[in-house]
Amino acid sequence: MNMNYIYDRLLEILDKEDILRDEPMKNHTSFKVGGPADILVTPRNEEQIVDIVKFLKKENIPFFIMGNGSNLLVKDGGIRGVVIKIGDNYSDFEIQENIVKAKSGILLSKLAKNILKSELQGFEFASGIPGSLGGAIAMNAGAYGGEMKDVVTSVKLLDMDGNIFELSNEEMEFGYRKSILTNKDLVVLEVTMTFQKGRYEDIKAIVDDITIKRTTKQPLNLPSAGSTFKRPTGYFAAKLIEDAGLKGVSFKDAQVSPKHCGFVVNLGNASAKDILSLISIIKKTVNDKFNVLLEEEVKIVGED
């Protein structure tokens, strides 16, 4: 791969400040680990996203699309090719009566604040989820009894050939921590959601309650990717991990959080390899003791 050629071609699509070379992925993930991406771009509009995807696809250049990096573990060797980060640069939204339209790069927390201001109820569950809207749609993110599929009306998507189309809630195939994006290469561009009108005080009370639960029960002071494992059918991952005697167990600077065993945290200097080693220990121990195979909720990408 001729990175100079790729860089020059991307300069025809994007501003220089929106293209980073040899960019450490630890700067773009909530785990604060990860080697360099050959090139990382932060597009500002739909047209740029389409042009980038078309160019990379046509030239057969590998690329990876990410949101806020809050559910991502990038390996220490980094990512070859181009990382397309859909974040702050692409985060506009509009609220008209009870309909909300938002670009996929907006943070759920920011969107939730504005939905609350508009006295719309139904998005309280998302107020504490640390990801972007696009990532939340891709994995049907949820918490405290709510999930994205409860509020989504339709999703505007881009396929790898540069075609833009819209899918309804039903067509999105939402399931537990999955959607149509789980098995198909599609980019979330924009999401339309519908809510019910409510009273500001009532909605705020629910948001405050969720905030208290999160801050008291989750290790928000340390880098992590949220819940490391999906909930196994009939069990809770955190309880299995605790019952397996793994509470507080560490591998170098990767640790099973003593505050919430469902979280693997970075105590400061963990590498991706350390975190993956601890994940392997957890999976093996839980499987040996309870015959339950935990499945990662965090997405693992990159090279060793």
CA separation for the pair 180, 155 (Å, rounded): 11
Residue 293 makes CB contacts below 8 A (sequence gap 6+) with 232, 283, 286, 287
- From the candidates 80, 177, 179, 296, which is the catalytic residue? 177
CB 188 within 8 A of CB 155: yes
- From the candidates 30, 227, 257, 271, which is the catalytic residue? 227
177 is catalytic: yes
23 is catalytic: no
Question: Looking at this protein, which amino acid is placed at residue 136?
Answer: A
Question: Looking at this protein, which amino acid is placed at residue 246?
Answer: L
DSSP 223: -
CA separation for the pair 66, 261 (Å, rounded): 26
The two three-digit tokens of residue 205, written as one number: 């009370």
The two three-digit tokens of residue 191, written as one number: 């999401």
Beta strands 196-197; 254-256: pairing state: unpaired
Beta strands 250-251; 196-197: pairing state: unpaired
- End-to-end alpha carbon distance in the chain: 19
199 is catalytic: no
Residue positions annotated with a catalytic role: 177, 227, 297
